[in-house]
Structure 1
Amino acid sequence: MNECDLRQLEITLPFPPRPHLSGARAQRHAQHWATRFGLLADERAHRRFESLGYGRFASYWCSGASFADLVLLAEWITLFFIFDDLQDAAVSEQRAGEYDSLRYRALDVIHRRPGSGAAESPVIAALENLCDRTYPRQTPSAARRFALNLEIWLMGHARENAFRASSTVPGPAEYPRLRRDACTVLPTVDLAEIAERAIVPDALYFGPAYQEIIATTADLMCWINDLHSLAVETETADPINLVTVLRSHRRLSLPEAVDAVRAMIADRVADNLAAVAAIRPEMDELQLSPQVRNAVLRCVRDCQSATAGMELWDRTDTVRFLGAAPARHLSSHC
C-alpha cells in the first residue's frame, strides 16, 4: 500500500447517497455565479471548475430541495472550497498574515459590521452576496447559529494554520475537534435546514442527539477525506491528516494507520446511528409537531446522504485530490 492507492479506497457506509436530480445543472449555475464575482482566473479555470464538481457534491445534501435552494447551497459550497484553496496557498507561500486579514474581513461580513472592504475583494463580495440571500431565509435564532458556525469554521482555519506554520503534527486527542471546526459541515447543516424548510428548535439543535449527528457527520466526512487526500497532503507535508497524526504520534506504519482510521470511521458510524435513534425520544420529550419532526428527520437523512455522497465524490467525481497546486485556478484578485 502507498498513499496514492488510498485515492480509490472505498469506505462502505450503511446509508446511501441520495443525489438531487439537478446536480449537474446546479454545477453550471455555481460556475456562472463564481464567474460573476471574478473568482475564476481564466478559461482553463473554467474548465477545471467543471472537473472539481462542487455543485455535484452539493446535490447530496438536499435531494428533495427546490432548484433555487440547491443552487444557493452549491454556491456556498463553492465559496467554502475557494476559501480552503486560498488558505492552502497562503500557508504554502508563507503569506499566512494575508489570509488572517481575509478572515477578519470575512468575519465583518458575517457579523454585519461595517468596513468589510467587499468592493476590494471578489471573495468577500461573494460572501456578502450569499449572506444577504441567506440570513433573511432564517429565523433570528437560526441566523445566529449560522453566523456562529461560520465563525467557528474560520477560527478552525486559523488553528490549522498555526500547526502548519510550526510544522507541528496535532495530537490524536486534539485532532478530531481541530479538523471538525475547520471543515464546513456545521454551517452546511444549517443550509440544509433552509433547503428542507425546517425550523429546528434550539432545544433540539443543542441537545445531545442532534449535536452528535452533526459531530459524527463532520468526523466521518473529514476522516474519509483524509484517506482519499493523503497523497496530496503527503506531497505538501501537510500535518492536518488523521493518517499522518497516527503515524507520527503512535509510530504506526502506513497500513497500520489506515486500518486504525478505518476502525475509527466504523466507530463513528455506530455513534451516528445511535444518535439518529436517540433523536426521536428527544423530539417526543419536546412535544414537537409532526411537521417539525418530519423536517428534522429529513435533515438527518441529508447528513447521512452527504456523508455517503462525499465518499463517492472524493473517489470518482472530482479532481480536487489529484495534486494540483492550491488556488492556481482562482483569480489572483480574490
Structure 2
Amino acid sequence: MASESVEWARAFGLVDSGHRVHRLQQADAAGLAGRACPDGSVDGLRLLTDLISWLFVMDDACDEDGLGADPVRLGPAISTLLDVLDRCGDPDVVPPAVGPLGDALHDLCRRIRLHGHAALLLRFVSQVREYLLALLWEATNRERRRVPEVSEYVQLRRHIGGVHPCLTLTDLASPRPPGPTQRVDPSLLTLDLLAVDLVCWCNDLFSYGKESQADPDAQNLVTVLAQESGTGEADALQAAADRFNQGLATYLTVEEALLAGSDDGLGPAVATRRNWVRATYDWSVAADRYA
C-alpha cells in the first residue's frame, strides 16, 4: 500500500525529486491510514492513503516552498483546485491543464465517484473546498505576521487540518459506513468536531518544535495560547496539552452517551473516529515527518 501510493504521487508529478520521494515515504501515509481504518477495504484504503499523501504534498508546498505565506501566489493555485472540485470527478469532462496537484485531486474525485455514493462525493468536495479556502486565511496571517485569537484559530484549524475529508473517505472504506440519517445525527456531528479538534491539536503539539524553529509566529495552538495568555513557551505547551486532555475527556463522555442512546448501527462510525484520534498519536510518535 505504501509503495503503491508513493508511485501514484510520482505518476502525477506530486513528488519530482529523490528528496521529495524520500520525504513522502518517511511520512508513512499508508501507516496512518491503516491505523485509522484497520478493517477497511483495499480500494478504500488506497483512496484514503492517496488523499493523505496529497494533503502532505499540499502542506509541504505551503510550509516549505513559501506558498502558504504568500496569498498572491496561493490564490491562483487554489482557484485552479476549486475549478477541479467543481467538476466532481466527472470522467466525461477533460480537466484543464492544472498541474500535478490539480490532476491528482481530479483523480481522487473520479475514483470516489466510481463508488456511486453521490452524497458522500459532494460532502468530500465541500470539505476539501473548505480546506483550501482556510489555507488562504492562514496565508494572510503569515504574510501579516498575525497570530489569531484562540477561538478563531480553533475554528479555522478544523478545516486547515484536512481531517474532515479524511473521515469521509474512512467512512467510504469502512465495511459499515453510517447511513444518511445517522450521518446527520447531532451527537455524531458533535463527536466529529471533537475528534477533528483532537487530531489537529495532537498534530500541533508534535509539530510545534519543527514549526517554531522555522517561524516563531507559526500558526499553531501553542503559539496562539502563548499570545492570548502572555505566558512563555513551556506554559503554553502545557496549556495545549491540558486542552487536548480536557477535549479527550469530553470526547469520551459524548461517545459514551451516543453509544448508550443509539442502535448498533452507529458503532462502526464511532469506532472510526476513536481510531483516528489514537492513530494520529501513534503515527506521530513513530513517523519522521516532524523530526
1:90 offset after TM fit, Å? 5.3
Name the structure 2 match of 1:18. none
Matched ranges for 1:222-261 at <5 A: 222-237=200-215, 238-261=217-240
Compared with structure 1, are the counterparts of its residues 198 and 53 closer, same or farther at alpha carbon in structure 2 (3 Å cutoff)? same
> Which residue is equivalent to 2:158?
180
Change (3 A) 1:97 1:141: same
1:1-334 correspondence runs (5 A):
26-89=1-64, 91=66, 95-112=70-87, 118-237=96-215, 238-280=217-259, 283-284=262-263, 293=265, 296-318=266-288, 320-322=289-291
For residue 97 of structure 1, report the CA deviation from its aligned partner. 2.2
CA distance in 2, matches of 1:235, 1:50: 23
Aligned-residue offset at 1:92: 6.1
**Structure 2 residue runs without a partner (length 5+):** none
TM-score, L = length of structure 1: 0.79
Contact 1:91–1:164 (Cα < 8 Å) also in 2: no
* Contact map agreement 2:71 2:140 (CA 8 A) in 1: no
Contact 2:67 2:74 in 1 (8 A): no
Contact 1:185–1:214 under 8 Å retained in 2:
no
Moved more, 94-103 or 31-40: 94-103
Separation in 1, partners of 2:102, 2:68 = 21
Identity of aligned residues (%): 24
Moved more, 45-54 or 144-153: 45-54
CA displacement at 1:214 relative to structure 2: 1.2
Over the residues paired in the alignment, what is the CA RMSD in angstroms? Answer: 2.2
Q: Distance in 2 between matches of 1:199 and 1:52?
A: 27
Q: What count of residue pairs does the alignment treat as equivalent? A: 287
User: What residue identity is the alignment partner of 1:40?
Assistant: V
Distance in 2 of aligned mates of 1:116 and 1:173: 41
User: Following the alignment from structure 1 to structure 2, what is the Cα–Cα distance between the partners of residues 203 and 248?
Assistant: 42
Task: Decide whether the 8 Å contact of 1:226 with 1:241 is kept in 2.
Answer: yes
Equivalent AA in structure 1 for residue 238 of structure 2: D
What residue identity is the alignment partner of 1:145?
R
C-alpha change, 1:278 and 1:148, in structure 2 (3 Å) is farther
Cα 1:310–1:251, aligned 2, differ >3 Å: closer, same or farther? same
Report how far residue 117 of structure 1 moved: 5.7
Q: Is the 2:191–2:251 contact (alpha carbons within 8 Å) kept by the matching residues of 1? A: yes
- Does the 8 Å contact 1:186/1:218 carry over to 2? yes
Q: Any idea what the Cα deviations from partners look like across 1:89-126, whole Å, max 9, x if unmatched?
A: 45468543222212111111112179996434011111
CA contact (8 A) 2:41 2:175 kept: no
CA distance in 2, matches of 1:212, 1:239: 28
Secondary structure of 1:137's aligned partner? coil
Q: Distance in 1 between matches of 2:86 and 2:68?
A: 29
What is the TM-score when the length of structure 2 is the normalising length?
A: 0.90
Sort the Cα spacing of 1:198 and 1:99 in 2 relative to 1 into closer, same or farther, 3 A: farther
Mapped to 2, the partners of 1:92 and 1:109 lie a distance apart of 19
Whether the aligned pair in 2 keeps the contact of 1:109 and 1:116 (CA below 8 Å) is no
- The amino acid across from 2:15 in the alignment is L
Q: Given that residues 69 and 194 in structure 1 are in contact (C-alpha distance below 8 angstroms), is that contact kept between their aligned partners in structure 2?
A: yes
Q: How much does 1:148 deviate?
A: 1.3
Question: Which of the two has greater helix per residue?
Answer: 2
What amino acid maps onto 1:271 in structure 2?
T
2 CA distance for matches of 1:30 and 1:157?
A: 24
SS of the counterpart of 1:119? coil
